[in-house]
Structure 1
Amino acid sequence: MGANHNHSISSSTKEKPLIWALILTFSFMLVEVIGGVVTGSLALISDAAHMVTDVTALAIALFAIKISKRPADLMRTFGYHRFEILAAAFNTILLFFVAIYIIYEAFQRAFSPPEIHSVGMFVIAGIGLIVNFVSMRLLAADKNKSLNIKGAYLEVWSDMISSVSVIIASLIIYATGWAWVDSVIAVFIGLWILPRAWVLFKQSINVLLEGVPDGIDLNQLKEKAYKVKGILDIHELHVWAITSDKISLTAHIVIDSQYDHESVFEELREILLSDFHISHTTFQYERERCLDADDACSFRAH
């Protein structure tokens, strides 16, 4: 029986785009809060509330990245990478509460809409659109490498939709005087947040439960693994993610005695890395097929 380990986990999370996005978002959030109070626009205030979650999300993501860089120790042998996933889960819960509050407040104000200064509402939302666009461009390069970055990117992207919605509402109110449109747009923003928050929350929970990462089909993985010459059987196969861009795999692999297990493992590692982006692998080498049909089986090994 033998084992092979590959611990080449690479980190590509970048802090600078997050820092700049945080500065831009926080600065404009203050402007939007003041503008919402002055103009009396709930849509503007709801967008500002959404930006509060953006600021919180970016700040927590940045903090989590700092923590995740701490080296592994005797208590946490995988290091502190899971902080990023915990941050993503926390941010989605925050989003849920904000969205529900926005919808509730919109219904309350729908029956007695206050006077709204549509011109100021238009100007502030227009500035917000520019800020969101710049922040989105800053985060775009790394959005598929981390749930934190992805969450922040989606936050900013939805803020762009919110800003566009507020601009449309201000134009309608200016042209018609229909103040109730402000509440309708606020509800739209709230309903826009909820499904996105749910998707990100499910992804975070899947990582915390050590589920198979999104984009990896275990049947396809096994099919490609069995094409490696010398592999007779694979069992006790587990695939999970420590954090969004650090996928791990362990497996017991039965290898034909005519083949060198080191060569077989090397070929298998190349397939896992190139086709599934799995860089952290641990293989247990065996010479006898598994006695039972399921993965939790007993075996005889030489």
Structure 2
Amino acid sequence: MGHDHSHAHGHQHNHGADLSGRNLLISIGLNILITLAQAIGGIISGSLSLLSDAAHNLSDVLSLIVSYIARVLSKKEASLDKTFGYKRAEILAAFINAATLLVVALLLIKEAVVRYLNPEPIESSIVIWMAALGIVANGFSVLLIKKDSDSNMNMKSAYLHLLTDMMASVAVLVGGILMSVYKVYWIDPLLTFAISIYLIVMGYGLLKSSFKVLMLFSPDDIELSPFVNRVKQIKQVKNIHHMHIWQLNEKQTHLEAHIDLEADITMSEFDTILDQIEAYARECGINHVNIQPEFDKTDDKKLIVQH
């Protein structure tokens, strides 16, 4: 019956969104160039780590495209048949991109084992130059979207793809130098394996976070018990039940619940109670509240009810 929600307003917000989209497009273009250059360099030099870097860059291109499309969709207005609009598009993109990180990592581990068991000579000078190119281009892309990655799961997924690829290029560069000086070719698959483990660690955390939002789990930073206790302390409130807290996206957290009242109060009296509940909710980071008032109604009074 009651609700309270806030939205960002103004030209600054739209400008920030446009800037984020532009930065993603620049990163997509840079990664297409890196992918082509490193794939050609890997084939010529015979370097698995360089080919692995190119493969990861290709996944970066795809993930950045997914992130860009999701970013555009998330700005579309809600409609009668899409009452939430596409606000979850970026969460879905984050989940897809995190999953691709894990898949790429597993494929690289497989190739690293094969190459370790069958080492081949590598043209290390090409590896060094291509890795340096990857560091510069990916480093620039990382700087472009770093700020947005702090507050947006979709942008964080794109940021992680770029950051891990930049680190991969650093590892490839170090490996190329070591191969050039010491002719130790097993370092190539070893570095590939190390990069893959790092991808798994980073990708799993993002996959878990985006999965929680998609499954409507309660946010980790909101404790239900203190909130419930505060609501029960409000005059005329007997019980709170049928409670659900979930994130629509990273900026919007929703609460819905039924409250059982001690008396058959007026609407104005209920509005006073509702104002207090909304104030508590805002303190907890909940910005959309929907409360159903009840008096002397026979239903399940459990806090959480499985329908």
Structure 2 match to 1:17: 23
Relative to structure 1, the CA distance from residue 260 to residue 144 in structure 2 (aligned partners, 3 Å threshold; closer, same or farther) is farther
Structure 2 unpaired stretches of 5+: none
Q: Aligned residue for 2:113?
A: 107
Find the counterpart in structure 2 of residue 117 from structure 1: 123
> Residue 176 and residue 79 in structure 1: after superposition, are their counterparts in 2 closer, same or farther (change >3 A)?
same
1:263 counterpart letter in structure 2:
T
| Alignment match, 1:128 | 134
3-state SS of paired residue (1:70): coil
Tell me which residue corresponds to 1:6: 4
Is the contact between residue 241 and residue 301 of structure 2 (CA under 8 Å) also seen in structure 1?
no
Distance of 1:290 and 1:222 partners within structure 2: 20
Shift of 1:185: 0.6
Unaligned runs of 5+ in 1: 298-302
* Residue of structure 2 aligned with 1:53, choices 39, 59, 63: 59
Given the superposition, is the C-alpha separation of residues 202 and 21 from structure 1 closer, same or farther in structure 2, using an over 3 Å criterion? same
Q: By how many angstroms is 1:62 displaced? A: 0.8
Identity, % of aligned positions? 30
Q: Label 1:10 to 1:285 Cα distance change in 2 as closer, same or farther (>3 A).
A: farther
Q: Are 2:216 and 1:210 aligned?
A: yes
Q: Does 1:252 align with 2:258?
A: yes
* Matches for 1:156-235 after TM superposition, within 5 Å: 156-223=162-229, 225=231, 231-235=237-241
In structure 2, relative to structure 1, the CA distance for the partners of 1:29 and 1:141 (3 Å cut) is same
The offset of 1:162, in angstroms, is: 1.2
CA distance in 2, matches of 1:127, 1:169: 15
**TM-score where L is the length of structure 1:** 0.85
CA distance in 1, matches of 2:233, 2:158: 40
Shift of 1:199: 2.2
Which of 273, 283, 287 is the matching residue for 2:282? 273
Letter in 2 for 1:105: E
Task: Please point out which of 291, 295, 303 is paired with 1:283.
Answer: 291
**Paired residue total:** 294
In structure 2, distance between residues paired with 1:224 and 1:140: 38
- Range with greater deviation from structure 2 (216-225 or 114-123): 216-225
Shift of 1:59: 0.5
Instruction: Give the RMSD, CA atoms, in angstroms.
Output: 2.7
**Counterpart residue number, 1:85:** 91
- Aligned partner letter, 1:269: E
CA distance in 2, matches of 1:25, 1:227: 57
Aligned residue in 1 for 2:154: 148
Deviation (angstroms), 1:175: 1.8
- Structure 1 249/161 Cα, relative in aligned 2: closer, same or farther at 3 Å? same
Query: Which amino acid is the alignment partner of residue 262 of structure 1?
Result: D
Corresponding residue for 1:26?
Answer: 32
Normalising to structure 2: TM-score of the pair? Answer: 0.84
Cα distance between partner residues in 1 of 2:239 and 2:150: 33
